[in-house]
Structure 1
Amino acid sequence: MAHLLGADRVTLALGTRTLLDEVSLGLDDGQRIGVVGPNGAGKSTLLRVLSGLQEPDDGRVTRAGGVRIAVLDQRDDLLAGSTVLDVVHGSADEHEWATDSRIRSVHAGLLGDVSLDADVATLSGGQRRRVALAALLVRDDEVLVLDEPTNHLDVEGVAWLAAHLVERYRGSNGALVVVTHDRWFLDAVCTRTWEVHDGTVDQYEGGYAAYVLARAERARTASTTEEKRQNLLRKELAWLRRGAPARTSKPKFRIDAANALIENEPPPRDQLSLTRMATARLGKDVLDIEDASVAYGDRVLLHDVTWRLGPGDRVGLVGVNGAGKTSLLRLLSGRQQPTTGRVKRGKTVQVAELTQDVEELDELAGLRVIEVIESEKRSVVVGGKELTAAQLVERLGFDRERSRTPVRDLSGGERRRLQLLRLLVGEPNVLLLDEPTNDLDTDTLAALEDLLDGWPGTLVVVSHDRYLLERVCDTQMALLGDGLLRQLPGGVEQYLDLRRSATATAASPLDARAPTEAAPAAVSTADLRTARKEIARIERRLSRIADQEAVLHQRMSDQATDHQAVIALDAELRALATEKDELEAAWLEAAEIVG
Structure 2
Amino acid sequence: MNLVNLESVSHAYGPKPLLTDVSLGVAAGERIGVVGRNGGGKTTLLSVIAGQVRPHGGRVTHTRGLRVGFLSQQDELDPGIPVRELVLGGRAEHEWAGDQAVREILASLIGDLDLDAKAGDLSGGERRRAALARLLIDEHDLIMLDEPTNHLDIEAIAWLAGHLAARKSALVVVTHDRWFLDAVSTRTWEVVDGRIERYEGGYAAYVLAKAERARIAQAAEERRQNLMRKEIAWLRRGPPARTSKPKFRIEAAQALIADEPPPRESVELVKFATARLGKTVYDLEDVTLHAGGPGSGPLVLDRITWQFGPGDRIGLIGVNGSGKSSVLRLLAGTVSPDSGRVVRGRTVRLAHLSQELAELDPARRVLETVEEIRKYIQVGKKEWSASQLLERLGFKGDAQWKVVGDLSGGERRRLQLLRLLMDDPNVLLLDEPTNDLDIETLNELEDLLDGWPGTLLLVSHDRYFLERVTDRSVALLGDGRLSLLPGGVDEYLERRAAGSAVTARLGSAAPSVPDRPGAGQPAPRSQSGAGAELQRQSEPTGLSAKEERELRKELNRLERQLDKLGDQESRLHTAMAEAASDYARLGSLDAELRDLLGQKDAIEAEWLEVADRLGD
TM (normalized to structure 2)?
0.83
**Alignment counterpart, residue 546 of structure 1, candidates 548, 556, 560:** 556
- Cα shift at 1:262: 3.4
Matched-pair identity in %: 55
Query: Residue deviations 1:504-561, cap 9 Å, x none?
Result: 9xxxxxxxxxxxxxxxxxxxxxxxxxx975479899877652323446899999xxx9
The 5 Å alignment of 1:65-214 reads 65-168=64-167, 173-214=168-209
In structure 1, C-alpha distance between the alignment counterparts of 2:251 and 2:64, rounded to whole Å: 49
The 5 Å alignment of 1:293-308 reads 293-295=288-290, 296=292, 297-299=295-297, 300-308=299-307
Amino acid at match of 2:107: A
CA RMSD of aligned residues (A): 3.2
Task: Work out whether residues 191 and 207 of structure 1, in 8 Å CA contact, stay in contact via their aligned partners in 2.
Answer: yes
Q: Which residue of 2 aligns with 1:573?
A: 603
Q: Which residue of 2 aligns with 1:464?
A: 461
The 5 Å alignment of 1:266-285 reads 266-285=261-280
In structure 2, C-alpha distance between the alignment counterparts of 1:445 and 1:276, rounded to whole Å: 15
- Cα shift at 1:250: 4.5
Task: Work out whether residues 555 and 611 of structure 2, in 8 Å CA contact, stay in contact via their aligned partners in 1.
Answer: no
Amino acid at match of 1:501: A
In structure 1, C-alpha distance between the alignment counterparts of 2:175 and 2:593, rounded to whole Å: 54
Task: Work out whether residues 277 and 383 of structure 1, in 8 Å CA contact, stay in contact via their aligned partners in 2.
Answer: no
Q: What SS class does the counterpart of residue 64 from structure 2 fall into?
A: coil
Task: Work out whether residues 565 and 600 of structure 2, in 8 Å CA contact, stay in contact via their aligned partners in 1.
Answer: no
- Cα shift at 1:38: 0.9
Task: Work out whether residues 322 and 481 of structure 1, in 8 Å CA contact, stay in contact via their aligned partners in 2.
Answer: no
In structure 1, C-alpha distance between the alignment counterparts of 2:251 and 2:460, rounded to whole Å: 55
In structure 2, C-alpha distance between the alignment counterparts of 1:225 and 1:563, rounded to whole Å: 42
Amino acid at match of 1:216: A
- More displaced stretch, 433-442 vs 372-381: 372-381
Task: Assess, with a 3 A threshold, how the Cα gap between structure 1 residues 70 and 267 changes in structure 2: closer, same or farther.
Answer: farther
**Alignment counterpart, residue 490 of structure 1, candidates 475, 487, 500:** 487
In structure 2, C-alpha distance between the alignment counterparts of 1:555 and 1:165, rounded to whole Å: 42
- Cα shift at 1:565: 11
In structure 2, C-alpha distance between the alignment counterparts of 1:306 and 1:159, rounded to whole Å: 31
Query: Residue deviations 1:162-214, cap 9 Å, x none?
Result: 0000011xxxx221000101111011111010011111110001111111101
In structure 1, C-alpha distance between the alignment counterparts of 2:407 and 2:241, rounded to whole Å: 54
- More displaced stretch, 484-493 vs 420-429: 484-493
Q: Which residue of 2 aligns with 1:290?
A: 285
Query: Residue deviations 1:261-296, cap 9 Å, x none?
Result: 234333433222211111111111111111222233
Task: Assess, with a 3 A threshold, how the Cα gap between structure 1 residues 544 and 63 changes in structure 2: closer, same or farther.
Answer: farther
Matched, 1:439 2:436: yes
**Alignment counterpart, residue 389 of structure 1, candidates 386, 389, 402:** 386
Task: Assess, with a 3 A threshold, how the Cα gap between structure 1 residues 360 and 78 changes in structure 2: closer, same or farther.
Answer: farther
Amino acid at match of 2:215: R
Q: Which residue of 2 aligns with 1:233?
A: 228
Amino acid at match of 1:277: F
Task: Assess, with a 3 A threshold, how the Cα gap between structure 1 residues 537 and 323 changes in structure 2: closer, same or farther.
Answer: farther
Gaps of 5+ in 1: 505-530, 588-595
Task: Work out whether residues 333 and 351 of structure 1, in 8 Å CA contact, stay in contact via their aligned partners in 2.
Answer: yes
In structure 1, C-alpha distance between the alignment counterparts of 2:215 and 2:538, rounded to whole Å: 50
The 5 Å alignment of 1:363-378 reads 363-367=361-365, 369-378=366-375
In structure 1, C-alpha distance between the alignment counterparts of 2:337 and 2:492, rounded to whole Å: 26
Q: What SS class does the counterpart of residue 376 from structure 1 fall into?
A: coil
Q: Which residue of 1 aligns with 2:45?
A: 46
- Cα shift at 1:223: 0.6
In structure 1, C-alpha distance between the alignment counterparts of 2:593 and 2:164, rounded to whole Å: 58
Q: Which residue of 1 aligns with 2:259?
A: 264
In structure 2, C-alpha distance between the alignment counterparts of 1:123 and 1:503, rounded to whole Å: 31
Amino acid at match of 1:457: G
In structure 2, C-alpha distance between the alignment counterparts of 1:98 and 1:258, rounded to whole Å: 73
Gaps of 5+ in 2: 502-533, 542-547, 569-590
In structure 2, C-alpha distance between the alignment counterparts of 1:567 and 1:74, rounded to whole Å: 54
- Cα shift at 1:25: 1.2
Task: Work out whether residues 319 and 479 of structure 1, in 8 Å CA contact, stay in contact via their aligned partners in 2.
Answer: yes
- What is the count of residue pairs matched by the alignment? 550
Q: Which residue of 2 aligns with 1:336?
A: 335
Task: Work out whether residues 545 and 576 of structure 1, in 8 Å CA contact, stay in contact via their aligned partners in 2.
Answer: no
In structure 1, C-alpha distance between the alignment counterparts of 2:230 and 2:465, rounded to whole Å: 47
Amino acid at match of 2:408: S
Q: Which residue of 2 aligns with 1:526?
A: none
In structure 2, C-alpha distance between the alignment counterparts of 1:444 and 1:537, rounded to whole Å: 49
In structure 2, C-alpha distance between the alignment counterparts of 1:535 and 1:6, rounded to whole Å: 63
Amino acid at match of 2:206: Y
The 5 Å alignment of 1:525-544 reads 533-534=536-537, 544=554
- Cα shift at 1:42: 0.8
Query: Residue deviations 1:221-270, cap 9 Å, x none?
Result: 00111111222223333344444466566544324323432343334332
- Cα shift at 1:386: 2.4
The 5 Å alignment of 1:498-509 reads 498-502=495-499
The 5 Å alignment of 1:512-531 reads none
Amino acid at match of 1:493: D
Task: Assess, with a 3 A threshold, how the Cα gap between structure 1 residues 390 and 298 changes in structure 2: closer, same or farther.
Answer: closer
- Cα shift at 1:433: 0.3
In structure 1, C-alpha distance between the alignment counterparts of 2:382 and 2:252, rounded to whole Å: 43
Q: Which residue of 1 aligns with 2:411?
A: 414
- More displaced stretch, 113-122 vs 455-464: 113-122
In structure 2, C-alpha distance between the alignment counterparts of 1:399 and 1:292, rounded to whole Å: 47
In structure 1, C-alpha distance between the alignment counterparts of 2:91 and 2:401, rounded to whole Å: 53
- More displaced stretch, 547-556 vs 26-35: 547-556
Amino acid at match of 1:329: L
In structure 1, C-alpha distance between the alignment counterparts of 2:538 and 2:146, rounded to whole Å: 41
Amino acid at match of 1:481: G
- Cα shift at 1:385: 3.2
Query: Residue deviations 1:27-73, cap 9 Å, x none?
Result: 10111111111111111111111111111111111211111111101
Task: Assess, with a 3 A threshold, how the Cα gap between structure 1 residues 119 and 284 changes in structure 2: closer, same or farther.
Answer: same
Q: Which residue of 1 aligns with 2:448?
A: 451
TM (normalized to structure 1)?
0.85
Task: Assess, with a 3 A threshold, how the Cα gap between structure 1 residues 333 and 267 changes in structure 2: closer, same or farther.
Answer: same
- Cα shift at 1:576: 5.0
Q: What SS class does the counterpart of residue 272 from structure 1 fall into?
A: coil
Amino acid at match of 2:457: V
